[in-house]
Amino acid sequence: MVISSKEVCIPPSTIATESTDYNRVEELKAFDDTKTGVKGVVDSGLKKIPKIFVRPLDQLNQKSNELDQTDIQIPVIDLQGDHQEVVDRIMSAAQEWGFFQVVNHGVPLSVLDEMIKGVIRFYEQDDEVKKEYYTRDRTKKVWYNSNFDLYVSKAANWRDTLAINILRSDPLNPQELPAVCRDITIEYRKHLILLGDFLFELLSEGFGLKPDHLKQMNCTEHINILSHYYPACPEPELTLGLTEHTDVVFLTILLQNDIGGLQVFHKDCWVDVQPSPGALVVNIGDLLQITSNDRVKSVEHRVLANHAGPRISVGFFLTTRFDVEAEPNGPIKELISEDSPPVYRQFSNKEYVDYFFTHGLGGKRSLGCFKL
């Protein structure tokens, strides 16, 4: 997951090179300068992936345990079921998995379908139009690039990203959005905000708090919409669509098309999250794990590269503002007791996000650095 932040400049000396005759920095810059991303690589007709995308074998094999998934899937929760049962099932899923899918969530299927089509229209439009949004300045409200951590990561991921950053208190000017997906993005945002508010109410109740407790903490003030485009990959076994990571937000709601690849790390194994028509994937972010004093958990997930494509996903990330001084984050005082002392120290959201951008995807998890 990525949320807006100031551009981080990494000196070339921090990027490992494999040999004296291979200049990784130059290849990264050449790729970046095309402003056409991974899709541009595919469109050029290359049959082998460039070296900057190849992951070391030890990384490809990390946590590679396979699990018989015949009877194991992340929980699917019907949000129109019995209220207390819905609360209980969400808390169980958030504690055991950190992930669940929701159905009967109130977002029309036509909106979900059109959002996927809007993302495809953006990426498959004329390159010169798309390049107008290409930047590594994450202070912009709307930006497009490939791999936010391109110059930090050990290997680039096989995906491109369109990011839209919105404050609920300061709505985005529609004219700042790409024309090909403008109307549907506005409509999608409206529905997802309502769903996010409802999920936070259910989680607040699950913690034994008033339904509006988490919302009153401004957990939904900053909205980040990341639309990922994963082209078909000629050598998917050599790279990843998205490196294993956790989300440095409170809550993520994910829309994906019918091409799989998302995996959740559960009980020392990677478990596939099978696409389900009309369902949305929800996962707990780091800040909610901290706020809950470890009552729910944020877990690692990744996306595999695939011979099929394009895979489309739209992440809707909900969190507090980090660009202004605000109340420090830490466990909710109502969830702290003699039997449940605080696990984490107080810190600012900006401090947490800055740590994430310093280390990039696949780096050391932030949670441990903020524990008491």
Please give the Cα distance from 39 to 311 (Å, whole number). Answer: 12
| Mean pLDDT value across residues 12-35 | 74
What band does 323 get if pLDDT is binned at 50, 70 and 90?
low
Please give the Cα distance from 317 to 192 (Å, whole number). Answer: 10
Q: What is the mean pLDDT of the chain?
A: 89
| Residue 12 predicted with pLDDT over 50 | no
Closest listed residue to residue 255, CA positions, set 195, 172, 211: 195
Least confident range of 15-29, 126-140, 192-206: 15-29
What is the per-residue pLDDT for 363?
A: 59
Distance set, CA 49 to CA 32, 54, 100, 232, 336 (Å): 15, 7, 33, 11, 50
| Residue 217 predicted with pLDDT over 80 | yes
| Mean pLDDT value across residues 87-116 | 98
| Residue 60 predicted with pLDDT over 80 | no
What is the per-residue pLDDT for 314?
A: 98
What is the per-residue pLDDT for 120?
A: 98
| Residue 296 predicted with pLDDT over 70 | yes
- Which distant-in-sequence residues (6+ apart) come within 8 Å of 292 by Cβ? 207, 331, 332, 335
For helices 182-206 and 83-96, the axis angle rounded to 10 degrees is: 90
Residue 167 pairs in a beta bridge with 170, 222
| Mean pLDDT value across residues 134-163 | 95
What is the per-residue pLDDT for 42?
A: 97
| Mean pLDDT value across residues 145-150 | 95
Q: For the domain 75-370, what is the CATH code?
A: 2.60.120.330
| Mean pLDDT value across residues 115-124 | 98
What band does 66 get if pLDDT is binned at 50, 70 and 90?
low
- Say which residue, 372 or 339, is predicted with more confidence: 339
| Residue 23 predicted with pLDDT over 50 | yes
What band does 372 get if pLDDT is binned at 50, 70 and 90?
confident
Closest listed residue to residue 158, CA positions, set 309, 313, 305, 258: 305
211 prior amide bond cis, ω within 30: no
- Say which residue, 328 or 363, is predicted with more confidence: 328
What is the per-residue pLDDT for 21?
A: 67
- Say which residue, 319 or 356, is predicted with more confidence: 319
As given in the structure block, the two tokens for residue 338 are 């003699």
What band does 17 get if pLDDT is binned at 50, 70 and 90?
very low
Length of the chain: 372
What band does 7 get if pLDDT is binned at 50, 70 and 90?
very low
Sign, CA dihedral 263-151-143-39, equals negative
Please give the Cα distance from 178 to 182 (Å, whole number). Answer: 6
Please give the Cα distance from 167 to 35 (Å, whole number). Answer: 27
Helices marked H in the chain: 24-34, 37-43, 57-60, 83-96, 109-123, 127-130, 182-206, 213-216, 286-291, 349-359
Least confident range of 27-41, 247-261, 345-359: 345-359
What is the per-residue pLDDT for 328?
A: 75
| Mean pLDDT value across residues 256-283 | 95
| Residue 200 predicted with pLDDT over 70 | yes
| Residue 4 predicted with pLDDT over 60 | no
As given in the structure block, the two tokens for residue 341 are 């002392």
Percent of the chain with pLDDT over 90: 74
Region class of 106: left (phi > 0), else alpha (psi between -120 and 50), else beta: left
Instruction: Decide if 149 contacts 303 (C-beta within 8 A).
Output: no
| Residue 358 predicted with pLDDT over 90 | no
Instruction: Decide if 313 contacts 356 (C-beta within 8 A).
Output: no
As given in the structure block, the two tokens for residue 324 are 């202004």
Question: What backbone phi and psi angles, to 5 degrees, belong to 200?
Answer: -65, -35
What band does 61 get if pLDDT is binned at 50, 70 and 90?
low
What is the per-residue pLDDT for 243?
A: 94
| Residue 228 predicted with pLDDT over 50 | yes
| Residue 123 predicted with pLDDT over 50 | yes
Least confident range of 226-230, 309-313, 357-361: 357-361
